[in-house]
């Protein structure tokens, strides 16, 4: 399911430790990584223009330890007025199975605000996106990486509303469960489902039966509450290292606007979130 990944970098020092996490993607099946930086051009956006060679050199330096870790690595630098669109265009050009992008707080007052580029990528993508939380400084990001993003398969949490829109996320957990030490399957009960816990448990157990025979400990969970907050709380309480959600949904996974469940979960949980869109061939089924 995941063999090639596009990693979008903005070259900030705080983002540097994320690069150290990339070899962990080998456990996902990733063998090829493309590092990309998009220089934003337009009104008052000329700082990086004309320095493409410098950025290429920087990406090539970033690629060295990744190659030493056994990954095949390419690097590309593009210029565009719309960074998110260019990231998605590069992903389409190389047919990436996965997009990896950092997310961060924009200011001290609204620390729970995902970066605009990450939000736009989430909103427009038809490919799975792995969000990595980036702290304000490299040291803080490094602590986060040591605790979580270097061990994404230690404890996976799938949050599903059990609709057709969650199928992509469910397929992802089935794929990744072979390397997972622990797996939690969670549904946050909506008001119209709180009186149907048995049906929800049965549906979650159906997913459980489809997990790899090599999967470690598996738990089925149902909770009540506000979905985004509940998912983040459960992930924190259970020390999950990766959260998987769908992109669209009928109900609490609705994400046709920016402010999606994936973005909000990443903001509040501050741990890796894999958002998996519904496959195109399934969207009309």
pTM of the model: 0.87
Task: Give one word for 118, left, alpha or beta, with left for phi > 0 and alpha for psi -120 to 50.
Answer: alpha
Beta-carbon contacts of residue 17 (< 8 Å; ≥ 6 apart) = 138, 141, 142, 144, 145
Residues 32 and 72: their CA atoms lie apart, in Å, by: 5
Same domain, 169 and 132: no
**How would you classify the pairing of strands 273-276 and 129-134?**
antiparallel
Same domain, 94 and 216: no
Mean pLDDT of the chain: 82
Same domain, 111 and 231: no
Same domain, 101 and 211: no
Q: What is the pLDDT of residue 132?
A: 85
DSSP collapsed to 3 states, 152-213: CCCEEEEECCCCHHHHHHHHHHHHHHHHCCEEEEEEEECCCCCCCHHHHHHHHHHHHHHCCC
Q: Which of 197, 216, 272 is nearest to 242 (CA)?
A: 272
Question: Is residue 179 predicted with pLDDT exceeding 50?
Answer: yes
Same domain, 176 and 104: no
Which domain range does residue 19 map to?
4-149
Instruction: Confirm if 246 and 91 have CB atoms less than 8 A apart.
Output: no
Number of separate domains in the chain? 2
For residue 278, what is the domain's CATH number? 3.40.50.620
Cα 152 to Cα 2, 24, 245, distances in angstroms:
14, 7, 15
**What torsion, rounded to 10 degrees, do the Cα atoms 17, 82, 124, 15 define?**
10
Same domain, 185 and 58: no
Helices and strands (H, E) in the chain, number of each type: 9, 10
Instruction: Confirm if 132 and 25 have CB atoms less than 8 A apart.
Output: no
User: pLDDT digits over 241-283, tens only?
Assistant: 999 998 864 444 444 333 356 667 877 788 889 999 887 544 4
Same domain, 90 and 203: no
Last residue of a domain, one of 125, 149, 173: 149
Same domain, 98 and 172: no
Residues 253 and 261: their CA atoms lie apart, in Å, by: 6
Which neighbouring-strand residues pair with 217? 182
Pick the most confident of 53-57, 110-114, 207-211, 249-253: 207-211
Q: Any idea which of 63-77, 148-162, 248-262 has the lowest mean pLDDT?
A: 248-262
Instruction: Enter the tokens of residue 106.
Output: 């924009």
Last residue of a domain, one of 114, 149, 184: 149
Q: Three-state SS for 244?
A: strand
Same domain, 108 and 222: no
Same domain, 8 and 145: yes
Last residue of a domain, one of 131, 149, 167: 149
């Amino acid at each position: 399911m995941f063999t090639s990944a596009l990693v979008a970098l903005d070259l900030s020092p705080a983002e540097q430790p994320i690069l150290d996490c990339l070899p962990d993607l080998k456990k996902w099946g990733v063998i090829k990584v493309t590092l990309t930086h998009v220089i934003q051009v337009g009104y008052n956006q000329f700082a990086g223009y004309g320095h493409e060679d410098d950025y290429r050199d920087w990406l090539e330096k970033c690629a060295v330890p990744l190659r030493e870790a056994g990954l095949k690595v390419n690097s590309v630098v593009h210029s565009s007025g719309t960074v998110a669109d260019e990231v998605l265009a590069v992903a389409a050009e190389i047919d990436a199975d996965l997009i990896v992008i950092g997310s961060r707080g924009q200011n001290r007052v609204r620390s729970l605000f995902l970066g605009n580029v990450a939000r736009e990528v989430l909103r427009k993508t038809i490919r799975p996106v792995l969000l990595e939380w980036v702290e304000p400084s490299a040291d803080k990001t490094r602590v986060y990486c040591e605790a979580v993003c270097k061990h994404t398969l230690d404890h996976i949490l799938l949050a599903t509303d059990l609709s057709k829109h969650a199928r992509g996320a469910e397929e992802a957990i089935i794929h990744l469960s072979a390397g997972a030490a622990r797996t939690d399957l969670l549904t946050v009960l909506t008001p119209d489902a709180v009186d149907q816990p048995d049906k929800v448990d049965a549906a979650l157990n159906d997913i459980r039966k489809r997990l790899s025979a090599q999967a470690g400990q598996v738990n089925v969970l149902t909770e009540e509450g506000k979905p985004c907050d509940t998912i983040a709380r459960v992930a924190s309480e259970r020390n999950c290292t990766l959260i998987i959600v769908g992109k669209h949904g009928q109900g609490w996974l609705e994400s046709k606007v920016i402010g999606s469940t994936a973005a909000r979960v990443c903001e509040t949980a501050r741990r890796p979130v894999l958002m998996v869109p519904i496959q195109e061939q399934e969207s009309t089924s």
